[in-house]
Each structure stands twice: as structure tokens, then as C-alpha cells.
Amino acid sequence: MPLVTDITKMFSIKHPIIQGGMHHVGFAGLAAAVANAGGLGLVTALTQPSPDALAAEIDKASKLLRPGCEGRLGVNLTILPMFAEVDYPAFKDVIIGSGVKVVETAGRPPGEFVEEFKKNGISVIHKCVTTRHALSAERLGVDAISLDGFECAGHPGEMDVGNFVLQAQGGRELSVPFVCSGGVGTGRQLAAAMMMGASGVNMGTRFMATKEAAIHDNIKQALVDGGAGSTTLVMRSVKNTERVFKNETALKVQELEREFPGDFSKIHDYVKGENYRVSFQETGNTEDSVWSCGEVMSLIDDIPTCDELVERMVKEAEEALAAGPGFVVR
């Protein structure tokens, strides 16, 4: 039986599992596979080179959906600090015209877009790394929050709050539904997140290691082979911390940051997104770029289909939640 939460009801999904937006990963095939498995699948807007390309990718994902799964497709829109370099109004218009019902925003506060998305019947879930940021997003009118713990891939912010504290804070402080994001890959974690007040989970790295993720098999195998010590942090000196795979290039970036703290020009050529794309889409070289992944690597030991992953996570969560009353002695 499905787990029914505020998030499943809000987003009209079968299971409280969201595939987070991921650069060079959130393509149509993966988003549709997650939606077909009963979760919320997200196409990553800024992975596409233009608004027109995003429109085509959303259309491609829509055509891969099984009957009855149409409402389970959404878009991730990351609002970068360098606002002027992206034609956000055009991306926004594409999203509104596409017919999707959910947008995941991340990065800068989404105040410029929330009202217009909601006016067009689109629910907004915003990614935050502290409850202080989440409460600000609530005041902007977002419908839900993705609370992103320090364990996560990509950018965990500068506060270093782990999910065992962050999710408990969310349960005490937030009035809109929230999901646990960062370090999640098992059904027991889904159950634990729900016990702390979350209405589900958001997963990025775990969905990278699935059959439908359109990235090189070498990257997927690195996630299977990796452990708790296989990630590291770069760009701390420029206050844009990112959790990435611990490889030769990441260690070189850390060395340059120690030598030239705060000087982004010294590390730019090593951390630019094109390197990341080439590794994921072309060469499969796990060492020659800086690429995001989370500590959940230590819990990844296979590469299932999205159907298989979601089904076993929900089954495991149900079993864990059903066992809960046995701990209470009356």
C-alpha cells in the first residue's frame, strides 16, 4: 500500500519520493522513469542550453509517461547568483506553458517567480539548507520545502547542519510540508525522515545510480564502489561550498584554495560545468573533473531501475513504520 503524506496529496504522486534536480543528470528519461515509478520526476531546466531546448525536453519526458502519470512530472529551476546571465523570464514562460504542475526552485530566494507560478496553477517546492531560509521561503508563499542537509551532493550551504538535526528542526518550526533531502537512499531513511516530521524524501545521487540515468556507466560504478570517505568539499574559500567526488581534480582545487584563498580565478578552469558534462556524457573519466555526489554513496550497492528502487524503498519504509509500535511498552 502507498504511503500517504501531505506531499503525496499536494503533488498527486503515489509515493513520497522526489527526484531532485541535478545538473547534467535531470533529463527526460530519468524524470519520466521516476514519475512512472510513482514519485515526482524533475527535468533540470538549466542543464538545457536554451528555453526552447527545455520545452523540447519536457515534451520528450511527457511522451515517456505511462497513462495516469502525467501529473508526476515537474521542473527544477535553480536561480543562480549571476542572475543576469540566464534568461529566466524565458525559462519561466516555458515552464508555465508546458503544463507541468510542480517546480522545484533552488539557489537564490524564488520571490520573483513564486506568485506567477502559483497564479498558473503550479506548486512550488523550494530547497533550503537551514530552517531560517525555509521560513523566509514560507513567507514568500512557497507550497513546500526541501530541507537539504550537509550530507547532500552539490551545494549544502555554509552552515553545515546535518539532517538528524535539520529535519527535527523542520518538524518543530515549519508550517508547510517539507521533505528530507541529502544522504537519502533507503526505505529506513524514508521512515526515519517521516518520524521527524518530513512528508517524504528528495534524492539526487541515489537516482544517478539507476538504469535510466543518462550518465556514463563509469560514473554509476564509482557511486557503487564509493564509501563514506569518497566525497569531499571544494569552493569553501569562496563561500560556494560544493560536495563532490573525491578525486585528483578535487584535491587539486583544494590545494589551490589553500594557496590562494578566496581567489576563484585560480580554480575556475577546474570546476567549470563543461568539464562535468564531458565526464558524465562522453568520457566517463571519474578523475578529470569536479562532479557532485553525496555521502549516500556509502549506501549504494547496485544499479536498479527506478521502478525497482522506489518499490523496495517504499516496502522497506512500510516495514520499518509497521514495526514502530512494538517499541512502545504499555
Closest CA to 181 of 148, 208, 154: 148
Note the Cα 35 to chain centre separation in Å. Answer: 15
Angle at 238 between CA 166 and CA 19, to 5 degrees: 45
For the chain, domain boundaries: 6-215+302-314, 231-292
Percent of the chain at pLDDT > 90 equals: 94
Question: What is the arithmetic mean of pLDDT over 302-315?
Answer: 98
Tens-place pLDDT, residues 85-139: 899 999 999 999 999 999 999 998 998 899 999 999 999 999 999 999 999 999 9
With both helix axes pointing from N to C terminus, report the angle between 163-173 and 131-140 in degrees, rounded to the nearest 10. 40
- Environment class of 291 (CB within 10 Å of its CB; exposed 0-12, middle 13-18, buried 19+): buried
Query: Please, which pLDDT band fits residue 328 given cuts at 50, 70 and 90?
Result: confident
Length of the chain: 330
DSSP 198-257: -S-EEESHHHHTSTT--S-HHHHHHHHH--TTSEEEE-TTTT--EEEE-SHHHHHHHHHH
Section 173-202 average pLDDT: 98
pLDDT above 80: residue 82? no
* CB of 190 closer than 8 Å to CB of 309: no
The yes-or-no verdict on residue 41 having pLDDT over 90 is yes
For strand 178-181 and strand 144-148, is the pairing parallel, antiparallel, or unpaired? parallel
Q: Which of 58-63's residues contact partners 24+ apart within 8 Å by CB, and which partners?
A: 58/28, 58/94, 58/95, 58/98, 58/100, 59/98, 60/28, 61/28, 61/29, 61/31, 61/32, 61/35, 62/32, 62/98, 62/99
User: Residues 45-56: what's their mean pLDDT?
Assistant: 97
pTM (global) more than 0.85? yes
Name the pLDDT band for 326 (thresholds 50, 70, 90): confident
308: CB partners within 8 A, 6+ apart: none
Which residue bears the cell 500517504?
4
CB 254, CB 232: distance < 8 Å? yes
Q: Taking the domain 6-215+302-314, which CATH number applies?
A: 3.20.20.70
In angstroms, the first-to-last Cα distance of the chain is 28
**String of DSSP letters for 80-143:** -SSGGGS-HHHHHHHHHHHT--EEEEEES--HHHHHHHHHTT-EEEEEESSHHHHHHHHHHT-S
